[in-house]
Chains A and B, each alone.
Chain A
């Protein structure tokens, strides 16, 4: 019997786990996937929004502002990459100016601090590569950029250090009322199933949160629609091309795309918004990518398309019927806490929602605070950002710091091994990539993949052929030499 079972190890679930871990509760986080943050959390713009966008009075407005204010402190205490680089919403003609003025007014109503409309000269001085046609912009100094995986990992690791259990490859296929508790039916990857009991369930299942809600409630019948956003990522040589996150002002023609530096030092362009049928459809399309390039050229006229290193798509879990967040208990399912329709600004809002839920649930369960609660996490060390003397000392203590595995991102073996031994261990090549950046650079893992596979196999005591890219069906190597019996067929040639 668990006090709390959190379904979903994305930013929302892990934020809840982190804040609930302060209390003397028996907490389990389950996720259908192989790692934290594999769904909506992973592939998005990584923007901490100022809060000028949501309609005043909505849950989105409230938790956006609260969350945005929590970020600087959390980044410091939990050691994840966050930078308050500021956002710009740019008007590219005088006709677009009223739209930024409208956003300014809305931001003031929502309580966003430091908003200002800046004029052409200041704007172009700030962003020299911006389309010269830009006339003015809304400047949002509280806007920031974050590594969404990084903050989710920080939440998960502190939660695990404080006693929260994580279970992956664990799919919840049904939830039933059992007296005052909840019974969760769990499907294991081996094809077996088991039942878990929990006093409280938090539904942080992202794209599947609508489905999960339907197991317990007739009250809310909201449908979560996966909406894909496609992105292009530019080489680090363009990481400083823009210092702020540059939005285009929303117009009747569309919301526009953003151009933004990332905390890792690349430059991100995107997203669009395309409805998808299934929750796994994270494919990109030629048309989508071409459209993004075209739309982004409004912001940056000469995008160096030759320096694009990768493209990807993420899904947003949008509730089309009522676009606000759906937070809290349905009237017919007390003890079942929804976090549904958690699309933008979900990433920004998540810490505030997690804190809010922890307060309500701890009170409901009359849980006391733990006497020994770990509220700090050292930022993972990265070779690429360490000083020479830090590196020298690290190698003296552990020679693995001196062995570079990923040459493009300068990731050492020690960093990879640390990720494999984390309180929430990385188990796959993708998990290593998200945690250490190994394989994320220009060669896109061409050189380091063979080494990473070996390290994963060695640390987890498995065969090279069992190592997966991500899910347990994504084996990277199909067999050892000799597993195929076919002999070459010779064509003697000479035919006409």
Chain B
């Protein structure tokens, strides 16, 4: 690659530019390649491929995709090997600074300096970030020792250093649960895991194998309402939460000493670049609004993986990456020609549904339509119903739906033809 030695930005031209070489980006690159588009550039801000999988050294990855149980680094390695085998161009330490008009990226790297990447299509695969203390508005002092779970995981697994030894965790998302066990393995004492709502955001298997196995108490309907300590954190205030209002109950605060507070309170799709580029976002998923091609509101820009909506299984991230990769390839091969104008249907989250991806569907074009969504509460033996104009056109039965687990349904899109909107509703079963 040409090295810039003057004060001029470099220009690259490529068919497909992919932002991020994590699970979504790698799968998108490979599938676009296999669909016949070989001129691909992947931009990865870190020094190695794999994204968050690099630090997820626990097992449980790949059961769907590889029919075996792998650790995160092993899963990432397989995805990377597929890209390597195809000679796909991955640029490391390359940060996309902005998405410009005409599917152009401004990319910065120590190797090529500042580059304008003129692409025919762009795939967003930037992943997600963690919610922080500030977003939760936890009051108190601001000492050292308050970390998000992913940061703790990185410090231990990739840097070999242990940030704390007497731990309280707030939130029981899957990363948090995995990190609690990791801390125990490192010799730390995880005193308790607090969870504001009456159900955990983590998977049952992780609660059993990361908390129960080690006798770590999961305290539901409790939260952190204060942080104490001048230099390093010394204690947190733990309060009970009123279930209906979800607010901490004044007067219930108990002081729990600790030298670290770990937050595992959710992931947020990292759409700063998308927002700045004027891509329409969905307030429910916090990702881009896409059609069934995973194309965003800006023609030629596609989105997949955790930047589109937060997944619980990497296998589905890879699947979504493949779908976006194939769509981007088709877009490039059609030279960006807009598809024939056909009516679209908007998929709207109804009762009990947080969001649905994709949000827009072209019924005429597809028989098999995959919808992914999350529910807001726990439902036993529920019915998922698809309604158009108040009329149910399709129902699905499930034994259980929980917020921690993404739901998938396959639908014949023709059912939606001619309707401006379709709603997905959850109806509670008799046992709820």
Interface residues of A (CB under 8 A from B): 232-233, 237, 280, 282-286, 288-289, 308-312, 383, 388-393, 395-396, 399-404, 407-408, 410, 412, 442-447, 449-450, 454, 464-465, 468-471, 473-481, 483-491, 493
Contacts and interface: CB of A to CB of B under 8 A. Distances in A.
Interface string B109-143: 11111101000000000000110111101011111
A474 B144 contact: yes
A478 B7 contact: no
Place the interface of chain B in its size category. Answer: 35 or more
Given A407-B95, A480-B160, A474 B143 contact: yes
Contacts of B148: 446
B189 A403 contact: no
B406 interface: no
Contacts of B208: 493
B352 interface: no
B134 A479 contact: no
Contacts of A312: 142
B144 A476 contact: yes
10 contacts: A284-B139, A286-B139, A288-B139, A309-B132, A393-B6, A444-B133, A473-B230, A477-B162, A488-B184, A493-B212
A140 to B, nearest CB: 31
A180 B215 CA distance: 69
B93 A403 contact: yes
A484 B108 contact: no
Chain B interface SS verdict (over half): mixed
B165 A478 contact: yes
A483 B213 CA distance: 23
Given A310-B132, A311-B137, A444-B133, 13 more contacts: A280-B230, A283-B140, A283-B227, A286-B248, A308-B134, A383-B97, A391-B114, A399-B111, A402-B112, A447-B151, A477-B161, A484-B162, A486-B189
Given A283-B141, A474-B232, A491 B155 contact: no
B140 A480 contact: no
A477 B163 contact: yes
Nearest to B133: A444
Given A447-B129, A450-B159, A475-B144, A404 B139 contact: no
Interface in B187-237: 187-189, 208, 212-215, 225-228, 230-232
Contacts of A402: 93, 108-114
A37 B181 CA distance: 40
Contacts of A476: 144-145, 163
B77 interface: no
A488 B209 CA distance: 13
A480 B161 CA distance: 4
A392 B9 contact: yes
Among B189, B212, B228, B272, chain A packs the most CB atoms within 10 A around the CB of B272
Interface of B: 4-10, 45, 93, 95, 97, 106, 108-114, 116, 129-130, 132-135, 137, 139-145, 147-148, 150-151, 154-156, 158-165, 184-189, 208, 212-215, 225-228, 230-232, 248, 259-260, 272, 275
A318 to B, nearest CB: 21
A468 B145 CA distance: 10
Contacts, number: 194
Given A284-B139, A489-B215, A450 B132 contact: no
A445 B133 CA distance: 11
Q: Which interface residue of B106, B108, B160 has the most chain A CB atoms within 10 A?
A: B108
B317 to A, nearest CB: 19
Most buried by A among B7, B150, B156, B160: B7
Contacts of B108: 383, 391, 395, 402, 404, 412
A407 B307 CA distance: 15
Contacts of A309: 132, 134-135
A471 B151 contact: no
Contacts of A485: 187
A309 B131 CA distance: 10
Contacts of B228: 283
A109 B391 CA distance: 73
A408 to B, nearest CB: 7
A400 B110 contact: yes
Given A309-B134, A388-B9, A446-B132, A403 B275 contact: no
B144 A450 contact: no
A18 to B, nearest CB: 29
Counting chain A CB atoms within 10 Å of each CB, the highest count among B148, B165, B184, B187 belongs to B187
Contacts of B4: 392, 395-396
A478 B114 contact: no
B6 A308 contact: no
Contacts of B162: 477-481, 483-484
Contacts of B93: 402-403
A310 B134 contact: yes
B214 A488 contact: yes
Nearest to A283: B141
A34 to B, nearest CB: 10
A311 B133 CA distance: 9
